[in-house]
Amino acid sequence: MTLAQGTFFGAETVFETTCLTLSIYQWNENMNIRYYRLRFYRDPMTGLPHIYNHNVVESEVEDVLRNPGEDRPARDGSRVAIGQTQNGRYLRVIYTPDPRPGSAFVITAYELTGQPLAAYKRRQRRRGRP
């Protein structure tokens, strides 16, 4: 990665008891900047992002949402994205797209293991993806 390529993370707290906002600025070698914003549900007991309860961090959620292997509708307007992080973990991310383009509210995320992981990998092979 050169100085002209990379990702910059900026975080701010909004709705103190409800969510954490992570602003992500990404640029490539042509200096085309892509901005998107993720908001995370905060656990009311701890005040921390709920994803921490599942040993998942914000950057892993961002990895999956940036390049999901699957992204499909779920209940009540939410969506389910499944994909692999840069560290090789497979995660399921439950989120709702915000009306603002490039923005989403992350409800939860957890590691995919066992039969659900095997089924995901099988679906990916059928689609010709490794």
pLDDT digits (tens, 9 = 90+) for 14-27: 333 345 555 544 44
Q: Output the pLDDT for position 22.
A: 53
Percent of the chain with pLDDT over 70: 72
DSSP labels, 59-116: HHHHHHHHS-SEEEE-GGG-EEEEEE-TTS-EEEEEEEE-SSTTEEEEEEEEE--HHH
φ/ψ of 110, rounded to 5, equals: -155, 160
CA separation for the pair 115, 120 (Å, rounded) = 9
- Of the candidates 88, 37, 41, the one whose C-alpha atom is nearest the C-alpha of residue 65 is 37
| Residue 122 in tokens | 């099988």
pLDDT in tens, 22-44: 554 444 444 444 446 888 999 88
pLDDT in tens, 58-82: 999 989 988 899 999 999 889 999 9
pTM: 0.74
CA separation for the pair 14, 88 (Å, rounded) = 31
Query: Predicted confidence band at 2 (pLDDT cuts at 50, 70, 90)?
Result: very low
Q: Output the pLDDT for position 97.
A: 87
Q: Output the pLDDT for position 19.
A: 52
Domain boundaries, given as residue ranges, for the chain: 6-126
